[in-house]
Structure 1
């Protein structure tokens, strides 16, 4: 039996947190969801001497962190970057203590967020490389359009999409319009922006698109994958895999959580860290119902889709750049490949569709998805050889995620993230979609897990009358600096 599945309290009728009274000295919490927010919350509660059990619907931990080893080396199918390679990043102490190396793919204030302007090669759909001078010129135009977008935001009261914003700006500033190949390059820049939000430009909010706090230090690729972080945090935890939650009943005196096989867990409180897409689907029933303002926050927050089609080749045949890009007349036709060989030394390219394109590709079989990605590669590199292995993610249709990560939708307030985070009595919420500062990021999910654990701990100990015995706040004992291992080859 796996150690995470072993628990002396396990029985057929009910699990460790059984119905009935518990002793005053045994405060207990159920954490729902085994992504990094849930793992962080459970670990913090465990370290604070709170009884905690974590329920995870998948047969693995990590959630949208998914490091695959089937190629013989680690490849992340989900999250793969640390956004903000600096000591201020909430994850820096954990990554530093583990000695996990990072490959920096951008400096500070990168408009394209996760790579430098000089570290890619763009091609048209006929396989002709775009002159780097033109790429740089259009990049400057793209930045000017964003600055003009800021002015527009200050002028208008209503919110509009980023695609509409670009249209208005180009009507006002015809000198910024691009034709021919330059127009295609501009569409590629916008396509990269869509990739950041995992959503199409016509759904991204002008008012709130840049409200996320970007930490300094640029962006670093986790060379060995994110799973070592998850596994380290998960040590000693009581984790129940294959436990899909169907109902959460909450009252002042405690919570009851029912899983798909009918088993019931009871505790003083619950920390809910399931993805926003799962909350939107309403597959988990709340009894009583969540307040209207909470349900509205769930409904109104945007959730996007970005997938990875990972191609493993026998040898490298592509330029030594971080990204290979395909420029086209529309963002839907544009595309890009992440070159993992530059960062890791392995002959791997990762095609990364987002938004409507990602959703359309998810309708295909894995073989057809790989064929599509490879056809895009053959457009720009006609001598490309067939991949020897591949992996395909399905974050939009995976019932355990139903999306990749959250974003600010048009005409919706940025404070929806905070409304989703706010506890309701003994229900606490965490995950990337509850972070106003760092939505859509691993460190955002991690930090909200720690925050929810601390709020939950205070609530439970208050109920048990143990506030006089309070330990230091969760996480205080880990505030020491460990250097991050950063390379830029």
Structure 2
């Protein structure tokens, strides 16, 4: 690597580049963002004999995948499920080869709940448990309501929100309306649906909410966290932590990427794998500007917030179920606690607020947020003992993410995901918000990283006139290795 100092500003070039001194032996790529998609793209391009430098603004890799070990055992503060426990899942071969156990929380691939409903305990705010038969009955009503919203969708010329569609269904079908405790249970189901999209029902598109592809096999919790997966994919890569990119300049013969401290990297192409929230905030300046259709995709897609408040106790005082829920007269008042003890053996409950509630809690201190979550727990278990430790995520406020994951906003086309993915000259885009099939998921981010790498490889090597010299990103050998996933139900 060559470097020089000019006016106290260091100018660095990526390890290999074709813009100076004639053709180099290897094409070069800069990957911006070290989340799952960026690491996947960098891994694939590195394995295809490219010179790759990955620039990450944080002091760690993983992005919105973050396994914390401060309790003495792994806890995922970001993504924690594999949605689709099956060999068709692009991440299954990696997880299988590593021998990482999954705890299957649901055999159902529904977006309505990440859990089979035989392992739960719902309570009202007075601490009375809701009868299981009522929860099951209201769950069936909720599924019928969603079927009815499909009829509403077919009749509407313009898109409307999920909540508006539900209101229309109630106007037409008085038999589906619920009262009293059943109404509160219905609000809890709607609250869980909002959790899936990390957004309130009045902002979620009726046309787009069910457009993602749901893989079979249900939902599997990563018992040891996602860290081992991301570390394995990152092994041997040239990763520069603490490098916040502020400008990307594209030229006909390459790209220039400038970081916050003025350091400049030069390469043949760049993979942009920063979160949608960061693109929306225009933290990175593009020169020339991105085309209008690309900017419209960035503006049009929704970015939701779901956070985790992780409570660590010194003993178990709650029922041996996968989750605890609090039903209330509004979705805002409902609560959801994931019981990690069931899956991992550790005495931990995870409170998971989404949408407006998550935004409001983000304004609190960590101590106040943990106390808020504990107060929700005390409503249903009055004898709950105080946590000995807590962790609080801030995905909405964190300048490196500015949101949790993408969703379809009212009035916006699901095609925006694909539009966000499409390359612009020698810039290639990756991330969960560029996945039409699997938005908001880790395997969606992973697969778009591989796609961006392959698009980039083809484009760059075409320019080099060396398409036959390099192996494809997805080699047959990789695709044929299949190790069964380790799945448990405790």
Coarse TM-score class (shorter-chain normalised): over 0.9
CA–CA distance in 2 between the matches of 1:287 and 1:109?
42
Does structure 1 residue 275 correspond to structure 2 residue 279?
Answer: no
Q: What does residue 489 of structure 2 align with?
A: 488
Kindly state the Cα deviation for residue 20 of structure 1 after the two structures are TM-superposed. 3.1
> Given the superposition, is the C-alpha separation of residues 475 and 157 from structure 1 closer, same or farther in structure 2, using an over 3 Å criterion?
farther
Match of 1:14 among 11, 14, 37: 11
Kindly state the Cα deviation for residue 26 of structure 1 after the two structures are TM-superposed. 2.2
Secondary structure of the residue that 1:102 maps to in structure 2? strand
Q: What does residue 250 of structure 1 align with?
A: 250
Secondary structure of the residue that 1:403 maps to in structure 2? coil
What does the per-residue CA deviation read over 1:141-198, in whole Å, with 9 as the maximum and x for residues that have no partner?
Answer: 0011011111111121111100001100011000000001110000000000000000
Q: What does residue 131 of structure 2 align with?
A: 131
Kindly state the Cα deviation for residue 252 of structure 1 after the two structures are TM-superposed. 1.1
Q: What does residue 435 of structure 2 align with?
A: 435
CA RMSD, Structure 1 to Structure 2 (Å): 1.2
What pairs with 1:3-402 in structure 2 (closer than 5 Å)? 13-17=10-14, 20-21=20-21, 23-110=23-110, 112-402=112-402
The answer to whether the 8 Å contact 1:254/1:269 transfers is yes
The answer to whether the 8 Å contact 1:120/1:324 transfers is yes
Q: What does residue 3 of structure 1 align with?
A: none
Kindly state the Cα deviation for residue 475 of structure 1 after the two structures are TM-superposed. 4.5
Q: If the length of structure 2 is used for normalisation, what is the TM-score? A: 0.97
Moved more, 302-311 or 463-472: 463-472
The answer to whether the 8 Å contact 2:454/2:472 transfers is no
What does the per-residue CA deviation read over 1:356-415, in whole Å, with 9 as the maximum and x for residues that have no partner?
Answer: 000000000000000100000000000000000000000000000000000000010000
Moved more, 342-351 or 456-465: 456-465
CA–CA distance in 2 between the matches of 1:178 and 1:44?
52
Q: Where does the alignment leave 5 or more consecutive residues of structure 2 unmatched?
A: none
Deviation beyond 6 Å, 4+ runs, structure 1: none
Secondary structure of the residue that 1:231 maps to in structure 2? helix
Kindly state the Cα deviation for residue 326 of structure 1 after the two structures are TM-superposed. 0.5
Kindly state the Cα deviation for residue 488 of structure 1 after the two structures are TM-superposed. 1.1
Q: If the length of structure 1 is used for normalisation, what is the TM-score? A: 0.97
The answer to whether the 8 Å contact 1:34/1:63 transfers is yes
CA–CA distance in 2 between the matches of 1:312 and 1:400?
26
